[in-house]
Structure 1
Amino acid sequence: MTSTTPRYKAIEDFLLQRIHDGTYPVNHQIPPEEQLARDFGVSRMTANKAIQHLVQQGYLLRQAGLGTFVTDRKAESSLHDVLNIASEVRARGHDYSNDVIRCEAVAADDEVALRLGLRLGAQVFHSILVHRENGVPIQLEDRFVNPRWVPHYLDADFSQQTPNEVLVASCPISDVEHVVEAVLVDAQTAAWLDMQPSMPCLSMIRRTWSDEHLISYARLIHPGERYKLRSSSKRR
């Protein structure tokens, strides 16, 4: 017994291929349902199902009275707020998952000691995670934590809680420092993020405080073509 591919999937694959290869760039209007149904020899309802799937996945956006357009599918985070990345992904209606690369106690080197205000060689907790949206890597989180303020950090189950959630549960965050720059990454980081080393990335250095206590230093790497940062402010 052989399985057959649903007829709407052929339209979905056709549209995805043209989105990925740049034939249909961001803001491009795709062919209307009637034309797709005619070209593929299916009903308009079948064409509508294919389009609706891509709308739900964030590839397309319907605009009443105008048509359906390709969207900028980059994940987006606020630069000012420290939000839980799992909640951000799920708020977009997408699936969140992660890969835990490392979770260990290490001796602070020069940079980590300086960033966390500790003595060289002091014990710190270190974790590396790859955060995924619909299975696609969108962030590499390389984090160091002061054990004094979050003593049970290494005991956390990061399949159930993100590092952000663990930190907030132990020490409510009161202050944040961000430094953002464009970077190229090494081969290992590129492999973890499933990208080419020649692709530009956004690097965010984040330090977080709870009252007067400096609790965490993290380097967050985002593939530039999959992620964007947003900043907004109000003038009084």
Structure 2
Amino acid sequence: MTSSTPKFAAIKEFIFSQIESGNWPEHSRVPSENELCEQFAVSRMTARRALQELTEQGVLYRTQGVGSFVASAKSQSALLEIRNIADEIQARGHFHSAELVQLTELPCPTIVAGALGLQRNEPVFFSLIVHYDNQQPLQLEARFVNPKQIPAYLQQDFVQQTPHEYLSAVAPLTEADHVVEAILPDEFTCKYLKINKTEPCLRLTRRTFSREGAVSFAYLTSAGSRYRLGGHLNINTSSKK
């Protein structure tokens, strides 16, 4: 860093170097605005600018009231809308059904803790559901839910309604982030989707927010031969970037 380097740029370079060196892996919490102010002897506005620009670039993500975290390094694909899996199936004229495999409280894993603004091993709600399209397994939904936001989650009947439907009703969605990646399934996924281990799958990792903060963190895994992602985007040509 030279003496002519703007201070906010120096902070960004420092954060980049920590991520690239592996010192701060995915979903690690980065220093707060106050901590960066003290470390670099800068104003809070300068620290905020550095964190904001890294967030806009997809290097970091922020959880309201908790802090900034290292985002996934894999390429991200923006999905144009968030749809209920039951509605998707019914729109094709097919019948949706669900099998509830697990609905419980667990000690919060590290990655989930960072995503939901919880502490590691703090209680988190968990549901595991298989969604069927005309009695064929279509999607395995593993969802972690913030108990502070959705205290009645474990009392719901997720055979009669999907978690998406329930969460949309009690904590309306204000924002979300997602990562889509191609994977090969593990034995657990093969068992519930009734596929073999060479069947490529699509995995959508999705975090949703309400006005009060992060609500859920979900892994939605589908057999590649049975599911596809798509959407339609209207472009306003009169708008300016």
Normalising TM by the smaller chain, what interval? Answer: 0.5 to 0.7
1:215 aligns with 2:218: no
Cross-structure match for 1:113: 113
Q: State the Cα distance separating 1:212 from its structure 2 match.
A: 4.6
> Structure 2 vs 1, CA of residues 162 and 194 (structure 1 numbering), >3 Å: closer, same or farther?
same
Greater Rg, structure 1 or structure 2?
1
Q: Tell me the distance in 2 between the aligned counterparts of 1:79 and 1:226.
A: 18
Name the residue aligned to 1:20.
none
Paired residues of 2:205 and 2:220 also in contact (CA < 8 A): yes
* Deviation for aligned residue 1:85: 1.0
Q: Does the Cα contact within 8 Å between 1:149 and 1:170 map onto a contact in 2?
A: no
1:139 alignment counterpart: 139
1:34-53 CA distances to partner (integer Å, 9 max, x unpaired)? xxxxxxxxxxxxxxxxxxxx
Greater percentage in strand: 1
1:111 Cα shift? 1.3
Superposed displacement of residue 231, structure 1 = 3.6
In 1, Cα distance between equivalents of 2:81 and 2:222: 17
Identity %: 42
Following TM superposition, where does structure 1 have runs of at least 4 consecutive aligned residues deviating by more than 6 angstroms? none
CA contact (8 A) 2:81 2:231 kept: no
Query: Quick one: which amino acid aligns to residue 221 of structure 2?
Result: I
- Distance between the aligned counterparts of 1:122 and 1:183, measured in 2? 29
Corresponding position of 2:122? 122
Q: What's 2:177 paired with?
A: 177
Structure 1 unmatched ranges of 5 or more: 1-77
Task: Report the AA paired with residue 132 of structure 1.
Answer: Y
Deviation at 1:102, TM superposition (A): 0.7
In 1, the alpha carbon distance for the partners of 2:102 and 2:163 equals: 12
- Preserved CA contact (<8 Å) 2:80 2:233: no
User: 2: distance between equivalents of 1:147 and 1:117?
Assistant: 11
Structure 2's unaligned 5+ residue stretches are 1-77
- Compute the RMSD of aligned alpha carbons: 1.3
SS of equivalent to 2:228? strand
Aligned pairs for 1:164-203 (under 5 A) are: 164-203=164-203
Match of 1:154, SS state, is helix
Q: Deviations over 1:64-86 (max 9, x none)?
A: xxxxxxxxxxxxxx932221111
Q: Secondary structure at the match of 1:229?
A: coil
Q: How many matched pairs?
A: 159
How many angstroms apart in 1 are the aligned matches of 2:115 and 2:174? 17
What's the offset of the Cα at 1:233? 2.4
